[in-house]
Structure 1
Amino acid sequence: MFHRPAIPTVELPWLSASGNAGFAALGASFATPTSPTPLPAPHWVGCNDAFRAQLGLPNELWQQQEVLELLTGNREPANHATYASVYSGHQFGHWAGQLGDGRALNLGAIQSPIGLHELQLKGAGPTPYSRRGDGRAVLRSSIREFLASEAMHGLGISTTRALCVTGSPAHVHREEVETAAVVTRIAPSFVRFGHFEHFAANGQIDELRTLADHVVAEHVPKLQAMQGAQRYVALLHEVTQRTAALMADWQAVGFCHGVMNTDNMSILGLTLDYGPFQFMDGFDANHICNHSDHQGRYAYARQPQIAYWNLFCLGQALMPLIDEQGPALAALESYKQAFPEAMDQRMRDKLGLQGAHEGDRTLVEDLLQALQQDHVDYTVFWRRLSIAVRESAHSSHAFEPVRDLFLHREVFDAWCTRYLDRLGAIDRQATGDAMLRTNPKYILRNHLGELAIRQAKAGNFAMVQDLLHVLHSPFDEHPTYETWAGLAPEWASSIEISCSS
C-alpha cells in the first residue's frame, strides 16, 4: 500500500477552478491519488515568463512563496488530489508490462486563454509506479528538459511545454551524487500510446473505450459524431497523421529523441519526455544520441520507422474497439504516404523550392549524402545556405561560406549547380528571407545546455534564462549571443547523455 504523507495545502484560484477536469475526471482506474514528497530549501532555477503570460497566470507568480512550494511538491492543491497515472509499454522493442508515472505527479488541469492544460511535476518524489525508484529528477536533466521543451516550441514543433524549474540542495544518487530539481511541464494531455496498451493488455475494455472517448471528446472533437468502430479507426488515423507530421519536423531540424518507447509517444503527436535527446551538430544519419541505446534502435535515421512500429502497437491496443483488421491497417498504412509527403515539403521549404518537381527527392538525398560524407554541421549549413540564396541576388561569391563547410568541395560544387538550376529565375532576396524563417540560427546544442548546467550547479542561473530567451525566437539574429550560433567546440563530442536523470 502506498501511503500519502500529510503535507500543507494551498488554495490558488487559477488552479482550483478546473483541478478535477481533464484526465483526472476519468476516475480511479486512470488517476491514482498520490502526494508529492517535499524537498528542503526550494529555489527558482528557471522561470518561463512568456508562457506564464500565455496561460493567463498572475504577473507576480514568481514572487509567491506558496507557488514555489506547490511547484516543488512541498504543498498540495487544497480542493483536489494530485495523482499519478498508470500505463504500460514497449521499451526498446520489448514488452515491459506495467509502467506508469514513476516520477511524474499531476497537479490537475487549469483553464487558460489557450485552452484546458494539464500540469505535471517531474521529480516530486515516488509514486505507486516508481518501481523501486526514488521518483526524483536531478538539476542536470531538469534544465535540459526545461530548455528543450521551449526550444521545440520556438521551432514550431509540437511539444509539451515547461513553465519552470525549481531546485533543492537535497542529494540524489545517480552515477554520482547530484542535487534535486522539479520541472513543471504542461500540455493539453499527457496521454501516451502506453495508456491504451495498458488497458488492452489487461482486458479492461470498458476503460479502454472510456480513454479513447475522452481523447476524442477533449482533443479531437471533429470525430465526436462518429459512432462505434468508425470513431476509433478515425482516431487511429488522426494519431497516425499527427505522428507522421511530428517525425518530419524532427528529421528536418536534426532532432534525435533517444528513447522512442511506446510509453514516450504522445496520443496528440507532441514531443514527449526529454531524456537523452540531442540536436545534431555534424550531420550523421546513423547518429545515436543515447549512450544507453547499445543497439542503435533509436538512431536518427531510424526514428520515422520506429514511429511507424509504435503506431502498430497502438493499433493493436485499439483492436478490441475496432474488431476488423482491415480498417485499422488502412489507418496505419496512411503513414507510408503522410510521412514522405511531409518530409518532402519540409525539405523543399528548407531549400526554398517552389512547387514539387520530379527529382527534388534525389536532390535532397544527394545533399544529405554530401553532408554525411564530411559531417557538416547541420544547422550552420542550412543557415548559411539561406543567407547565400538571399545574398546571391547581388553577389557572385555568396555561396563561398557554404562551400567552406565541406572538405570535398567538388561534391558541393556539383550539387550547388543542380540546386541553382532548380531554383530557377526566382526572387532570390525573398526566397532567402523565407528560408531564414525556416532554418533556425539557434538550437539547443548539447554544449550550450552543458554550460548552462555547470553555471547552475554553481548557483548562477543567468544562462538558463538567456538561453530560454534566445530559443523562444531561434530564427532571429540575437547579435548579443552570436557565439551560440557557431560551430560546436571539440569538447562537445565528449558529452555523454543517457537514460539516467
Structure 2
Amino acid sequence: MEYLCVIPKKISILYNSRFIMKLHIQNKFTSQLPADPTVENYPRQVEQAGFSYVLPVKPSNPSLIHTSAEVANAIGLSDEDTISLDFLNVFSGNKVYPETKPFALCYAGHQFGNWAGQLGDGRAINLTEVVHDNKIFTLQLKGAGPTPYSRTADGFAVLRSSIREYLCAEAMHYLGVPTTRSLSLMLSGDQVVRDVLYNGNPAYEKGAIVCRVAPSFIRFGSFEMFASRKDHTNLKLLADFTIKNHFPNIKEEGVEKYIAFFEEVTQTTLKMIVEWQRVGFVHGVMNTDNMSIHGLTIDYGPYGWLEDYNTGWTPNTTDNQHKRYRFGNQPEIALWNLYQLANAMYPLVEEAKPLEIILEAFSIDYEKEYLIMMLNKLGLQDKKESDLFLVGTLVELLERVETDMTIFFRNLSTVSKEDSGIIAFNAIKEACYTEKDLDETILKDWYDWFENYTIRINEETLSDTDRKVQMNKVNPKYVLRNYMAQLCIDDADKGDYTLLNELFKMLKNPYDEQPNFQKWFAKRPDWARDKVGCSMLSCSS
C-alpha cells in the first residue's frame, strides 16, 4: 500500500537520535573516489574530486505527503518504516542516518549544445548507498539545500516541481520505461521564492523534498568533468569504479573494458529513447549532465507527454525558439550526447575507431528498434517490406490534424479485420481534437491508410481479440498528462492530496482499463491548451 499522511506540527519536536529503521549501508563511491578536500559549503570550482561532502539543510517543519511502498520495500524498508519518525527525519534531511556522509556529485556538461563547464548537484544531495537483495541503490534528496555546485541558486525545490517529478518517475516505471524511482515526497515547512515564468514576478511557494532512487546518479557529465580538465587519473578511476560496481557483466580488461562499457551505455541509451518515443514522452532538457550512464530517464524538469502527435513539440519554454529537444529530435540528441561521452572516454581508449564504430551503428540500430516498436504498437508481428511505408504514412497523417497520440493508439486495437476504411477510422475518430479540420482530402487519406492497415492485419495469424491484447500491452491507456499534474498541484497547494493519491494509483496500472478512472482517458481540455503548467513549462523549480 501507499501512504498519504501529514505529520502534525507538534511531532516535529519529538525526534531523537536513536534509529529503529534499518538500512544496509555501503559507502563505496565516497570511499573509492576522490573527495573535495574543502568542507565549507559555498559555490566554487571543485578540482580533482568526484564529489563534495555536504549536509542537507534542516527543514523547519517537515511533513510526509506520499511514499511509494514498492520502492521502500525494494531498498529494504517495511511499510511500518515508511510512517516512522526515522523515515520522516532521514528523507526530509532533518537527520543524517548513522555511518553515512551525504555528498553532492561534481560533474560538467553540454547544455543546449554548448559547453557549460562545471555544473554538479546544485540542488541534489546523495544521502548514501544501500544494498538490498544484492542490488545497489543510491538515495538522493532533491531540494534539500545548497551545495558547492549551486552557483547562484538556493538548492531548494518547490511543491509543484516536486509533485511532477515524484509522480512522473513512478509513472514511467510502470509504463516500462527505464527511469529513476521516487521513494518519498515531503513538505519542508519552509517557503521558497521562485519566478515561475522568468518574467520578473517572483513569489513565495511551498518548499518540498523528493527522495530519488537509482543504482547511481553518475552521468555523462561525470566523465566530461575529468576529461575536460585532462585529469586522466581520476577519469580512469571513475570508469573503473563504474564498471566494477555497476557493469559486472563486463569481463574485458584494459582498453577493451572501456570500449565494452561505452557500447553498453550506448545500447541502454538507445533502448530508453525508443521507449520514450513509444509512449510519447518528451524529456525537455536532454543536456549531457541529464544523461544517466545507466540508460535511465533522469532529472524530470519541463517534461511532457504528447497530447496531439507533433514531432516538433517541446515542453520547455527555454527551448521554444530552436526546439533542440523536441520530440522528433530526441534520437539525434541522444547520439550527439553519446559523441560527447565518447570524447570524454577517448583518453582511456586512445583510439577513435572503436568508439566511432559504436556511434555509427547507433542510427541504424535505432531505426530497426523504432520500426519494431511501431509495428508492436500497430499489432503487427511478422515484418513485411511494406511496413516501413505503412508506419511512415501514419506518422504523416497523425501530424496533419491534431490527433491525440495516446487515444489514437489505444483505440486502434478495436479495429477488426473485417472493417472498411471508414468504419476503422470511426474507431479512432475520438482522438481528433477538431473534427472540422477533417476535410475531404484528409479523410480520404485516412480511409486509404486504414484500408491498407486492415489488409495488413489480415496477413497476420493473430485473431482480433489476441491482437487487441498484445496492442494494449504496449499502448497505454493512461499517461501523466501535464494538465492532470497541474490539477494535482493546484489541489496540493491547498493541502488536498486526494488527487495525488488517485493519480498515483491509476498510473501504477497504465495498460489496464480501470473503469473507475475512465475520465482521465480523454483529450487535453481546451482550458489547458495555454494554461501555465499544462502546455509548456520553465526550468524553474
Match of 1:104 in 2: 124
Say if 2:287 is the partner of 1:261. Answer: yes
Q: For residues 75 and 90 of structure 2, what CA distance do their matches in structure 1 show? A: 17
Say if 2:291 is the partner of 1:247. Answer: no
Q: Work out which of the residue numbers 448, 454, 464 in structure 2 matches 1:428.
A: 464
C-alpha deviation, 1:485, in angstroms: 1.2
Q: For residues 480 and 430 of structure 2, what CA distance do their matches in structure 1 show? A: 24
C-alpha deviation, 1:328, in angstroms: 1.2
Supply the AA of the counterpart residue of 1:20. N
Match of 1:214 in 2: 241
Q: For the structure 1 residues 405 and 60, does the alpha-carbon distance in structure 2 shift closer, same or farther, using more than 3 Å as the test?
A: closer
Match of 1:88 in 2: 108
SS in 1 for 2:92: coil
Q: For residues 23 and 493 of structure 1, what CA distance do their matches in structure 2 show? A: 46
Residues 142-181 of structure 1: pairs in structure 2 closer than 5 A: 142-175=162-195, 176-181=203-208
Say if 2:512 is the partner of 1:472. Answer: no
Match of 1:300 in 2: 327
Q: Any idea what the Cα deviations from partners look like across 1:296-346, whole Å, max 9, x if unmatched?
A: 111111111011000000000001000011111112112122211111111
Supply the AA of the counterpart residue of 1:142. S
Say if 2:85 is the partner of 1:65. Answer: yes
C-alpha deviation, 1:376, in angstroms: 0.1
- The size of the alignment, in residue pairs, is 492
Q: Work out which of the residue numbers 475, 478, 498 in structure 1 matches 2:538.
A: 498
Q: Is the 8 A contact 2:118 2:225 kept in 1?
A: yes
Q: For residues 330 and 279 of structure 1, what CA distance do their matches in structure 2 show? A: 33
Say if 2:480 is the partner of 1:444. Answer: yes
Q: For residues 424 and 445 of structure 2, what CA distance do their matches in structure 1 show? A: 17
Q: For the structure 1 residues 286 and 245, does the alpha-carbon distance in structure 2 shift closer, same or farther, using more than 3 Å as the test?
A: same
Match of 2:389 in 1: 362
Q: For residues 114 and 450 of structure 1, what CA distance do their matches in structure 2 show? A: 38
Q: Any idea what the Cα deviations from partners look like across 1:218-253, whole Å, max 9, x if unmatched?
A: 222121x31221111111111111111111111121
C-alpha deviation, 1:388, in angstroms: 2.6
Supply the AA of the counterpart residue of 1:231. K
Q: For residues 88 and 374 of structure 1, what CA distance do their matches in structure 2 show? A: 41
C-alpha deviation, 1:397, in angstroms: 4.5
C-alpha deviation, 1:61, in angstroms: 2.2
Q: Is the 8 A contact 1:387 1:436 kept in 2?
A: no
Say if 2:74 is the partner of 1:54. Answer: yes
SS in 1 for 2:529: helix
C-alpha deviation, 1:210, in angstroms: 1.3
Q: For residues 226 and 344 of structure 1, what CA distance do their matches in structure 2 show? A: 32
Match of 2:354 in 1: 327
Match of 2:315 in 1: 289
Q: For residues 386 and 372 of structure 1, what CA distance do their matches in structure 2 show? A: 20
C-alpha deviation, 1:404, in angstroms: 4.8
Q: For residues 478 and 505 of structure 2, what CA distance do their matches in structure 1 show? A: 11
C-alpha deviation, 1:255, in angstroms: 0.6
Match of 1:4 in 2: none
Match of 1:78 in 2: 98
Q: For residues 315 and 8 of structure 1, what CA distance do their matches in structure 2 show? A: 49
Supply the AA of the counterpart residue of 2:22. W
Q: Is the 8 A contact 2:405 2:431 kept in 1?
A: no
Supply the AA of the counterpart residue of 1:412. W
Match of 1:18 in 2: 25
Match of 2:65 in 1: 45
TM-score (norm 1): 0.94
Which deviates more, 356-365 or 262-271?
Answer: 356-365
Q: For residues 448 and 285 of structure 2, what CA distance do their matches in structure 1 show? A: 37
Supply the AA of the counterpart residue of 2:27. N
Say if 2:256 is the partner of 1:230. Answer: yes
C-alpha deviation, 1:118, in angstroms: 0.5
Q: Is the 8 A contact 1:90 1:261 kept in 2?
A: yes
SS in 2 for 1:334: helix
Q: For the structure 1 residues 93 and 44, does the alpha-carbon distance in structure 2 shift closer, same or farther, using more than 3 Å as the test?
A: same
Q: For the structure 1 residues 457 and 372, does the alpha-carbon distance in structure 2 shift closer, same or farther, using more than 3 Å as the test?
A: same
Q: For residues 70 and 290 of structure 2, what CA distance do their matches in structure 1 show? A: 26
Q: For residues 490 and 25 of structure 1, what CA distance do their matches in structure 2 show? A: 54
C-alpha deviation, 1:117, in angstroms: 0.6
Which deviates more, 24-33 or 467-476?
Answer: 24-33
C-alpha deviation, 1:36, in angstroms: 0.5
Supply the AA of the counterpart residue of 2:69. D
C-alpha deviation, 1:26, in angstroms: 2.5
C-alpha deviation, 1:475, in angstroms: 0.2
The answer for unaligned runs of 5 or more in structure 2 is 1-14, 36-48, 196-202, 433-437
SS in 2 for 1:169: strand
Q: For residues 297 and 24 of structure 1, what CA distance do their matches in structure 2 show? A: 39
C-alpha deviation, 1:19, in angstroms: 3.6
Q: For residues 92 and 300 of structure 1, what CA distance do their matches in structure 2 show? A: 15
Supply the AA of the counterpart residue of 1:329. E
Which deviates more, 133-142 or 288-297?
Answer: 288-297
Q: For residues 506 and 484 of structure 2, what CA distance do their matches in structure 1 show? A: 12
Q: For residues 467 and 24 of structure 1, what CA distance do their matches in structure 2 show? A: 40
Q: Is the 8 A contact 1:14 1:110 kept in 2?
A: no
Match of 1:417 in 2: 451
Q: Is the 8 A contact 2:20 2:86 kept in 1?
A: no
SS in 2 for 1:118: strand
Q: For residues 122 and 339 of structure 2, what CA distance do their matches in structure 1 show? A: 25
C-alpha deviation, 1:203, in angstroms: 1.4
Q: Is the 8 A contact 1:24 1:30 kept in 2?
A: no
Q: Work out which of the residue numbers 44, 50, 54 in structure 2 matches 1:30.
A: 50
Q: For residues 199 and 153 of structure 1, what CA distance do their matches in structure 2 show? A: 31
Kindly, what percent of the aligned residue pairs are identical?
Answer: 39
Q: Is the 8 A contact 2:73 2:79 kept in 1?
A: yes
Q: For the structure 1 residues 428 and 314, does the alpha-carbon distance in structure 2 shift closer, same or farther, using more than 3 Å as the test?
A: same
Q: For the structure 1 residues 389 and 147, does the alpha-carbon distance in structure 2 shift closer, same or farther, using more than 3 Å as the test?
A: farther
Q: For residues 375 and 50 of structure 2, what CA distance do their matches in structure 1 show? A: 43
Q: For residues 448 and 312 of structure 1, what CA distance do their matches in structure 2 show? A: 36
SS in 2 for 1:487: coil
Q: For residues 455 and 40 of structure 1, what CA distance do their matches in structure 2 show? A: 23
C-alpha deviation, 1:359, in angstroms: 2.1
C-alpha deviation, 1:492, in angstroms: 1.9
SS in 2 for 1:308: helix
Match of 1:387 in 2: 414
Q: For the structure 1 residues 349 and 27, does the alpha-carbon distance in structure 2 shift closer, same or farther, using more than 3 Å as the test?
A: same
Supply the AA of the counterpart residue of 1:14. K
SS in 2 for 1:127: coil
Q: For residues 261 and 248 of structure 1, what CA distance do their matches in structure 2 show? A: 18
Q: Work out which of the residue numbers 115, 120, 142 in structure 2 matches 1:122.
A: 142
Q: For residues 206 and 11 of structure 1, what CA distance do their matches in structure 2 show? A: 39
SS in 1 for 2:78: coil
C-alpha deviation, 1:169, in angstroms: 3.3
Q: Any idea what the Cα deviations from partners look like across 1:338-377, whole Å, max 9, x if unmatched?
A: 2111111110110011122112122111111111011100
Alpha-carbon RMSD across the aligned residues, in angstroms, is 2.0
Q: Any idea what the Cα deviations from partners look like across 1:410-460, whole Å, max 9, x if unmatched?
A: 221111111111112431110111101110000000011001111111001
